[in-house]
Structure 1
Amino acid sequence: MATRHSSAQAVAEGERTDKRRELLIMNEGSPGAPAERTWRWWPALRLALVLLWLLAAMTTWWTAPRQQGYEQARADAAAGRITAYQWGDRWDASSPPRWFDTPALHSSGTLGPLFAWRTPDGRRHWTDTDRFDQVTITDTVDNGSYSGPGAIGVAQDLRASGLEHRAGALHLPTPVVIWAGLVLAAISVGVVVAGPAPVRGTRWFWFWLISITPYGLGLLYWWAREHPWSTSATPAGHVNRRDRGILGLGLGILASILISLVLLALHTALGDRWAPQPGT
């Protein structure tokens, strides 16, 4: 009995020693520090985050503004199929959006010539009202407030259908995208900043790469390459070879340029239906 009791005490003491050593390593911020109760949840959490990213990405793609003909705009206005609309003269599409933003439509004063609208299925469309076949001008609207006859024709249809009060900004993300972005940002930044030290790159490396890379693609790269809390992810002596912050900044900028070129090529090859790019 005494021997068994002594063995139990030795095992318990060894476990306490290992626990103290584990806590010491974690407090020092060593990459790959074991946290058995936590890292087991990482595969499930990573899968959930990927699915959430896919939901936000697909919603953003579905609601991205797509160019339509002038007659389609007038037909939707006349039929009352417009749930919201906005006038403008240029798209803010100078650079890829961060995360799940959509290009914004800006106006310099007069209403038009660009007209954007949303239909009941949640999709957004836009047209250039300077490109029309014919339009009949009446005195039902203030003609001087609009950029030209095409814009006046659309405005007349909006008034006739009782849709004038539905004017508003269309570039704001949908609630699904807003909440998905907040959850992804909170969890990802929280893990990078306050979690165990990353294995493959420093905290600054992942912070810059996640923040700068468009469409949240930096998140996907982080989830695929990094393994927080995994005891087997770090080979011996790997600590000093982690990717540094300046590399993350450079890769983020390079990714922005390359993604812009790829999207432009896809837009040219596939058209606005599959690769919408307002303003190009």
Structure 2
Amino acid sequence: MVEQQPGGVVTRAVATGSPRSRTGALRAGAQQWQRAVGVVLVLGWVVWLACALLALPRPVSAGTLEQDLAAGRVASWHPVLLDRHEESLFQWVDRREPSPVAPGSEVAPPERRTVGYLVDGVVGRYRVVDVTGVGDELAQRMRDAGVPLVLPLRGDPGTVVPPDVERWGAVALGFAGFLLVVSGPRPTRGTRWFWFWLLGLPAGLGVLAYAVLEVLRPLPPHVPWAVPQGRMGGWRGFLVLVLGGILLAGGLDALGSWLGPAWTLPR
């Protein structure tokens, strides 16, 4: 807007609410929402990890069972079946999932029978002896030690957090990460394909990495990696998934062996 002032002086005033100022306000608002989404995703991962530590069964050896019995930590037990299945195509591990069964059930072949038991405490209190073929011997050992037989109700072994809560939390966390990778802001460190592959890393670490590195702390536009030619692509993401998944799975197992079965982190 141009105004004529006394003395022939011409001044130019910029009207409030110009397109440039509105664009800046919208950009600032979008950045605030992006940071809020990143914080919620990180907090969601922390909550899921806590639920996993409280709910997931811990595979232990027969020696660990004997140690728990000797220390008087075993509160109850029940027979379970061990089923082997691949939890994820790119996780490269087989996980044994315990399924509670009734004693003497005809659908419980001896080569798959073992026992699950609860110990005193809060974290990692549900443990399953990861040895098949000795279920009858382990059950007799529990009876000889005077441990009460308590069958779980509706698949809940008696943990502080039911396993279904952890399972659905993992689904929600993975789905939220997938939606952000597919339809969220353009990533700055890697392409969408790069982050798509990394979502398969163990323990939800791919979702956590995306929330921190792309949602909360994206690279500024002048950084070379922020241009499309400099970002990490899908093939590199696949290699990181394979190699990183193997290393992380081994690291989590080693950490669990060092910290003990109660603090074994989920994959």
| Range of TM-score over shorter length | 0.5 to 0.7
TM-score, normalised on structure 2? 0.64
Instruction: Decide which of 241, 244, 248 is 1:252's aligned counterpart.
Output: 241
Aligned-partner SS, 2:261: coil
Aligned-partner SS, 2:110: coil
After superposition, give the CA deviation of every residue in 1:192-230 in whole Å (9 maximum; x if it has no partner): 1112321111111111111x2111111222223224796
Structure 2 partner of 1:198: 187
Structure 1 partner of 2:45: 53
Matched, 1:62 2:54: yes
Q: Which moved more, 1:43-52 or 1:220-229?
A: 220-229
Matched, 1:241 2:241: no
After superposition, give the CA deviation of every residue in 1:156-194 in whole Å (9 maximum; x if it has no partner): 999x96745748476996344234324422332212111
**1:199-218 to 2 correspondences below 5 Å:** 199-210=188-199, 212-218=200-206
After superposition, give the CA deviation of every residue in 1:30-60 in whole Å (9 maximum; x if it has no partner): xxxx833221123333223222211211221
Structure 2 partner of 1:27: none
* Residues in 2 aligned to 1:223 and 1:173: alpha-carbon distance in whole angstroms: 27
Q: Which moved more, 1:110-119 or 1:147-156?
A: 147-156
How far off is 1:270 after superposition? 3.7
- Report the residue type matching 2:117 in the other structure: W
CA change 1:13–1:66 in 2 (3 A) is closer
C-alpha contact 1:199 1:227 (8 A) present in aligned 2:
no
Structure 1: gaps spanning 5 or more residues: 23-33, 132-145
**What is the root-mean-square deviation in Å for CA atoms of aligned residues?**
4.7
Instruction: Decide which of 15, 30, 49 is 2:20's aligned counterpart.
Output: 15
* Residues in 2 aligned to 1:6 and 1:89: alpha-carbon distance in whole angstroms: 79
Structure 2 partner of 1:181: 170
Matched, 1:87 2:80: yes
After superposition, give the CA deviation of every residue in 1:88-108 in whole Å (9 maximum; x if it has no partner): 25666998997xxx7413786
Calculate percent identity across the aligned residue pairs. Answer: 21
- Report the residue type matching 2:205 in the other structure: L
Structure 2 partner of 1:117: 117
TM-score, normalised on structure 1? 0.62
* Residues in 2 aligned to 1:198 and 1:108: alpha-carbon distance in whole angstroms: 50
CA change 1:50–1:97 in 2 (3 A) is farther
After superposition, give the CA deviation of every residue in 1:72-121 in whole Å (9 maximum; x if it has no partner): 67x888xxx54x844125666998997xxx74137862386420134685
| Equivalences, count | 238
Matched, 1:263 2:252: yes
CA change 1:205–1:7 in 2 (3 A) is same
- Report the residue type matching 1:114 in the other structure: T
* Residues in 2 aligned to 1:111 and 1:169: alpha-carbon distance in whole angstroms: 24
Structure 2: gaps spanning 5 or more residues: 5-10, 100-106
1 or 2 for the larger relative contact order (CA 8 Å, sep ≥6)? 1
Aligned-partner SS, 2:127: strand
CA change 1:243–1:155 in 2 (3 A) is same
Matched, 1:219 2:207: yes
* Residues in 2 aligned to 1:266 and 1:2: alpha-carbon distance in whole angstroms: 71
Structure 2 partner of 1:28: none
